[in-house]
Every structure is written in C-alpha cells, then in structure tokens.
Homo-oligomer: A and B are copies of this chain.
Amino acid sequence: MVGGGRGAFIGQVHRMAANLDGKIELVAGAFSSCPEKSKLSGEDFFIDSERAYPSYEEMAKAEAAREDGIDFVSIVVQNHLHFRVAKCFLEAGIHVICDKPLALDMNEAKELQKLVHESGLVFALTHNYTGYPMVKEAKRMVAEGELGRLLKVVAEYPQGYAIGDVEGNGDGAISNWRADPKIAGMSNCIGDIGTHAHHLAHYITGLEVEELAAELTAFIPGRELDDDGNCLIRFENGVKGIIYASQISNGDENNLNIRIYGTKASIEWHQEDPNELLVKFPSAPRQIYRRGNDYLGKLAQANTRTPFAHPEGFIEAFANVYLAAAAAISDKIDGKPAPEEAYDYPTVDDGVKGMAFIKACVESSKNNAAWTQLDL
C-alpha cells in the first residue's frame, strides 16, 4: 500500500475491504511521505519493519526484487500523485489497485492507459459504488433487455459535507487538498463524486456520454474549484440524461441515486439503501428486488456475502472491487487465461473515460454550458 498511514480515511477503507475475505494480506507499504510516519504506520498494521518503506520508489524497487514480493500495490495517495506512483509500480511490473480519479489530466490518464495495455498488468480503479450487488443486478437487467430500449438516465449525487464557510468570513470545512487545483486537479466536486455518478450510469447502461452541457459553481467564497455541478447529458443512441453532483447540499450525506428509464420498465437504486433495487412498470405492480435472494442474477449473487436482509454495505461493495481485481491478478500470476466473461472491476479505460467526463464538464462550464463532446 502506498499512502493510507495513521488517520487516513480511505486507506483504512481499502485495508478493511482487502481484509474482509481473508484472502489478501497487507505485507508492505510506503504509508506516508514522511519516513518516520510510514514506519509507525507499518507497526500499526503488523508489517515487518523492513517492508515499511520510506518512499514509494524504494518500495517498488525492493518489492519487485524480492522473491516473496507483493502481488499488487494499493495506491491511496492524493489525486496529484496517482499518476507517478502508478507509473512507478507498473514499470516495476507490479499490478495496481488505485483510488480514483485516475490522474490529474487527460495526458497523464492516457499515458497510464498506454502503460497498462502494453504491460498486460492488471490495473483496477476503485469506483466502489459499482461493487454493490444490486448495481450488478441493474446491469444485468439492462443487458438482458428487461428495460427495453433505454430512453433516459438521471444520476444524482448530492452531499452537504463541504458547505463550510458559506458567508466567506474565513475558510470552509473543505479547507483541505480537495479544494486545491494543484492536488485535486481541474475539478473538486465533479472530479471527486460526479465521476462516481458518471461511472455508475456507464457501468449499468453500457452507454457512452457523447456530449454534455455543464454548469459548475463554487458557492463558497474563495474556492477555486467547483463545489456543485449540474449537467445535461446526451448519451449515445439518443438517450438523454441529467447528472448532477454537489457538496453544498446541506444535510445530504452520501445521496448517490440513479434512475434508468426504458421502453418496457425503469429501475431506481439508492446508495444509502443499497440492498434494494426498485423496478417499475407501466401497468403492473412495482417490484422490489432484494439482495441475497436466489431469484437474482449470477453476478449479484456472486458478489454477496450474507443471506437476505442481513444488510451489506459500503465496505462489502468496496471489497467486491478488490475480489474481482484479485481474481484477475491471481489468474495472471498463475498463468491462467482470463475467463470468457470479463473480470468485473473498473479498469484504466474507465479511468480515462472519467477524466474525459471531468474535462468536458470543466470546459463546458467555462463556455457558459455550451455543449461539449467527450475526448474519448
């Protein structure tokens, strides 16, 4: 693991996700850019002291050289470091699981994409929300035509945690690196959570965004980056949509929702109530699909750990990304061929699509919400 030392939130989530199934062991890390802190964090995680490295470069080098070196690295550093850390491990021949967004801009993103494709290494991006079983069921329903031809997609992701200092008398709650373009990249809200909504819509429907009209806003005085963004979307095949994200939607917590409308039926899923999937028909009772039941598709069942109504949550979904990536990595290591069905984890290509989405949103917004095509 690179990053994720004492007190870091997302590093801890990655560790729990990796621990859960008892199949992945944390054995090495460069947990902090401060060597001392990295070492102490290593102790917290019961790592051999020689494998708590002072820097990611040393870690990549040393682990690549060990016979019992790591099978893959988890990258949980801040956005602006994703590119160089990932590059370093890929060049050392080590598989990667990386936090999103993929990189700071399209150049970095495409260079990583090239590296991954050329190396044949596994690269998984932790768009964790598509790890939920009922999201996988939604994908199956669309794929098998149960919704008919798709017409409209509405994906929304309001949060309120960054409401901060709304009157501009000082700094806001989000006085961290996410508001700093040098670290977070060209967008805060769309980059941080808008991309989750975009990936969710793409994962379930398989549709690419062709062009979009976006209005990004920095509501809190003094912010350089957006804390709110609303987009009209034109997907391929004439499908229309709305994607919006917000971090100033007071009192909303992690309110990622999606509705997908087809000619035969529509579906609705709420991240805050992830064990259910609502299916609506033009003239029949609504149906509630519930996680853990044997009437669900293979993919939803395979990503389930507890029986129905023994609720699963965020960590389990995150762990599903880890399990799928680990399966791919394990097959590579064992020299097994990939199965006929694709491995079910977000790839470097999904990361490139995410970057293209962010870039289009930022450009459109600068042009007064002019329609802007995605650079795919």
- Residues on A close to B: CB < 8 A? 9, 12-13, 15-16, 19-22, 26, 45-46, 148-149, 151-152, 154, 156, 158, 160, 163, 166-167, 213, 215, 217, 219, 228, 230, 232, 240-242, 244, 246, 248-255, 259, 261-266, 271-275, 279-290, 292-295, 305-316, 368-369, 371
Contact = CB atoms under 8 A, between A and B. Distances in A.
A264 B163 CA distance: 9
A298 to B, nearest CB: 16
A156 B230 CA distance: 14
Given A251-B261, A312-B313, 10 more contacts: A20-B20, A151-B166, A152-B228, A213-B232, A213-B369, A230-B242, A251-B286, A271-B311, A283-B294, A369-B371
Contacts of A167: 149, 263
A221 to B, nearest CB: 11
A285 B311 CA distance: 17
A282 B246 contact: no
B160 A311 contact: no
B152 A249 contact: yes
Contact of A313 (B242, B283, B289, B313): B313
B160 A280 contact: yes
Contact of A262 (B45, B156, B250, B274): B250
| Chain A interface main SS type | loop
Nearest to A284: B295
Contact of A163 (B158, B213, B282, B369): B282
A315 B306 contact: yes
A275 B310 CA distance: 13
A148 B251 CA distance: 13
Contact of A253 (B19, B308, B368): B308
B228 A230 contact: no
Of A228, A251, A284, the most chain B CB neighbours within 10 A belong to: A251
Contacts of A16: 20-22, 305
Given A230-B232, A315-B312, A266 B305 contact: no
Given A152-B248, A163-B282, A250-B281, A311 B274 contact: yes
